[in-house]
Amino acid sequence: MELAEAKKQFISSWGAFGTHWGINRTMAQIHALLMVSADPLTQDDVMEQLDVSRGNVNMNMRDLISWGLVDRVILSGERKEYFTAEKDIWKVATQIIKERKKRELDPMLKLLAQLENIEGDKKDKDVKQFVDTIGGIRKFGKQADQMLDMMIKADESWFLGGLLKIFK
């Protein structure tokens, strides 16, 4: 397979993959394109290579920056802005974990804590089932939260090397 063809396939698959995880296709594709590009790209480069509009690129690029996955780069002597993506996948993963935790897990845990304190007879089977389910989810969520915090602080070699031995 040629480089150009392989790039296309990767970008397309990364886009489809993203849609299964609540990320819009174009955003995932821009991310994929930047990850496999050796040099920073301009908005026009991205527009051309992915065949999408200027506004689309601009908005999704901003979103990627807010996720901490893409950076603006100013090349000296150049007027245009360039964009580049973190290519170390461990850093990408921990960054995504960090953001999703902040945006989704933490608020969910907050809500669950509130819901656990409902009024009503704990002997009632409906009340009991509710409290048990919410309690179980919350306990699990808290453990996950701690585990993810540790992943964020750890470094890649820990994940690649050490972890497996521990699990055996």
**Binding interface with DNA (CB under 7 A):** 19, 24-27, 42-44, 51-56, 58-62, 79-81
CB 53 within 8 A of CB 43: no
Site for a copy of itself in 98-127 (CB under 8 A): 100, 103-104, 108, 111, 114-115, 117-120, 125-127
- Site size for a copy of itself (CB under 8 A): 57
Q: Tell me which of a copy of itself, DNA, none is bound by residue 108, counting a contact when its beta carbon lies within the kind-specific cut-off of 5 to 8 angstroms.
A: a copy of itself
**Alpha helices per DSSP H over the chain:** 3-19, 25-35, 43-50, 54-66, 89-100, 106-116, 125-153, 156-157, 163-167
| Residue 164 vs residues 6, 56, 84, 87, 102: alpha-carbon distances, Å | 31, 42, 32, 24, 28
Summarize as ranges the residues that interact with a copy of itself (CB under 8 A): 1-3, 6-7, 9-10, 13, 17, 19-22, 35-38, 87-90, 93, 100, 103-104, 108, 111, 114-115, 117-120, 125-130, 132-134, 136-137, 139-140, 143, 146-147, 150, 154, 159-160, 163-164, 166-167
